[in-house]
Structure 1
Amino acid sequence: MTWLRGDMGFGRGAGFLLRGLRLWRERPRLMLLGILPALVVGVVVLALLVTLVFVADDVVGWATPFADDWDESVRGLFRGALYLLVLAGASMLAIVTFTGLTLAVGDPFYEKIWKEVELSLGGEVPDRGVGWGRGAIDGLVLVVLGLLTAIGVFVIGLLPVVGTVVGAVLGLVVAGRLLAGELVSRPLEARGMDRAARAALMRRHRGAMLGFGVCVQACFLVPLGGILVMPAAVAGATYLARAALDGGSPTEIVENRPL
């Protein structure tokens, strides 16, 4: 089996996620390790989202008393748009929060997945990961960045006419990039690369990072998608990190040993 390192663009980034998904067929037991922490966190996050669906309408009405005297149809459209905007922002926050908390809780499980991927690719393999403590801190930082993204989506969504669409699209792109950065940082940090070195490396592969992150984010929008895709996202991020470290040469082929 071969893994061709082609152009490190948007499509190539999406391909890394697809390669990670293939491990469900090749190593189902390994991938099931990533289900456990994702399932626990996913149930909690989903419960909070469902609660928000039922209370957001009341919250929007409480937050917009100035619209009480508006024409009923105009008021309904305005508050309906805000309701959808709140749910869109909450969804972005939930996805990034889910990823951050899942990585923090399940770091030993995901370290096993990326280590097996590293071994399958050969070459230099780190002796150990970043550790649970550092992984938990990075996960919580991702949660904070997700909160800022959700706030940004809400503010942009207040723009007339196009605000809701622009906010949702921008949120997808920004949250996807955050997810990719956090997932790819694990195998890079395990090699002793500090934040500045990791950022410099991945800036050279913006297209791949964006393609990978947006595809992961889109999968997370599907019900239960995050739980099933999370292990594949960890594996795909490892493939992406190794390709970036090796320069992403379009002519270089790496022989994958069986996982």
Structure 2
Amino acid sequence: MRDLGAGFKYLVEGQRWVARHGRQYGFALLPGLIALVLYVAALVALAIWGEGVVTWATPFADHWSSPWDTLFRGFLTAVLFALGLLLAVLTFTAVTLVIGQPFYDNLSERVDASESPDGTAPQSTLPFWRELWLSARDSVRILIRATVWGVLLFALGLLPFVGQTVIPVLGFFVTGFFLAEELTSIPLQRRGLDLRTRLTLLRSRRLLVWGYGTPLGLAFLVPFVAVFLMPGAVAGATLLARDLLGEESGPESGSTEPEPATQEQTTDR
């Protein structure tokens, strides 16, 4: 159970790190604001047209007596919106990271450099376009996994009692795991770890990952909170990644922002 507390500590420490580095925080807010506008528009559209979609998908209920047809379709509309909200939480991080790849990669490097005893950060050997492609591709693969889990949880949520008690809790843990994977992909991908290796690494310490990702997933349910927590979440994920890899950390040197070490990037591996 110690790992649960350690994971939450990294979440808090990440927010504290960006609070001490205001310039990095300000730039890192932009991708989240862009993604927020897109998701709000999608959820509003779902709220407006969701009932019509449910009515179209359930023609068999047209002949039901009132109020059973209204109650049934109202329930399905609510579940559809809840599923959309869950998918929004699961995918918000992935979309924001793709939009803000340069911002977050720079932020993660600075966190790495501030924690490294020699003041340097691991550097990717891939060109920017290749990094962006890998990030987008892996995000789609994670989205597919998250969608499968979302559909499964949606189906299980229809079960009496279990669907209203156990399944929501399970959903938050699933959300937390995928959030942690998306955020730690920034520092881990810079170290050359592919998606399969990253997933294996996270599964080896699930309690640590849940301690970090589950509270973050709960916080992301609050409107606008995700935008303001995102920079600190990236910083905390970098600290989490260092723990997962067993990397030595040193005290941050003063209040100045360390410049990450630069390295000539090659064209590909």
Deviations 1:144-202 (A, max 9, x none): 33332332232222223442554433322212211111211221222223344433332
Q: Larger deviation: 237-246 or 151-160?
A: 151-160
Percentage of matched positions with identical amino acids: 37
Q: Distance in 2 between matches of 1:185 and 1:196?
A: 11
CA contact (8 A) 1:157 1:163 kept: yes
Distance 1:27 1:173, change over 3 A: same
Shifted more, 26-35 versus 139-148: the winner is: 139-148
Residues 18, 235 of structure 2: 8 Å contact kept: no
Tell me the residue number matched to 2:22. 28
* CA separation of 1:78 and 1:129: change in aligned 2, threshold 3 A: farther
5+ long unaligned stretches in structure 2: 258-269
Contact 1:101–1:140 (CA under 8 A) maintained in structure 2: no
Which range moved further: 44-53 or 153-162?
153-162
Distance change in 2, residues 1:177/1:242 (3 Å): same
CA contact (8 A) 2:138 2:195 kept: no
Q: Does 1:125 align with 2:121?
A: yes
Amino acid at match of 2:221: L
Please say if 1:234 is aligned against 2:231. Answer: no
Give the residue type in structure 2 aligned to 1:18: V
Residue 157 of structure 2: aligned partner? 157
Equivalenced residue count is 249
Which residue pairs with 1:68 in the alignment?
A: 62
Partner of 2:252: 256
Code of the aligned partner of 1:100 = A
Q: Which residue of structure 2 aligns with residue 85 of structure 1?
A: 79
Structure 2 residue 178 is matched with structure 1 residue 178: yes
| TM-score of the pair, normalised by structure 1 | 0.85
SS at match of 2:193: coil
Corresponding residue number in structure 2 for 1:4: none
Judge conservation of contact 1:60–1:83 (CA < 8 Å) in 2: yes
2:110 and 2:121 in contact (8 A); partners too: no
Cα shift at 1:48: 0.5
Distance in structure 2 (CA, Å) of the matches to 1:64 and 1:158: 16
Paired residue secondary structure (2:90):
helix
Rounded Cα–Cα distance in structure 1 between residues aligned with 2:164 and 2:77: 10
Alpha-carbon RMSD across the aligned residues, in angstroms, is 2.4
Q: 2:176 and 2:188 mapped to 1: Cα distance?
A: 19
Relative to the length of structure 2, the TM-score reads: 0.82
For structure 1, which runs of at least 5 residues remain unmatched after alignment? 1-6
1:162 and 1:75 map into 2 onto residues whose CA distance is 24
8 A contact 2:19–2:25 mirrored in 1: no
* CA distance in structure 2 between the aligned counterparts of 1:200 and 1:192, rounded to whole angstroms: 14
Greater shift, 136-145 or 83-92, is seen at 136-145
Instruction: Quote the Cα distance in structure 2 between the aligned partners of 1:125 and 1:254.
Output: 13
- Output the CA distance in 2 between the equivalents of 1:165 and 1:83: 20
Contact 1:110-1:231 at 8 Å conserved across structures: yes
Change beyond 3 A, Cα 1:47–1:164: farther
**Contact (CA 8 Å) 2:47, 2:81: kept in 1 or not?**
yes
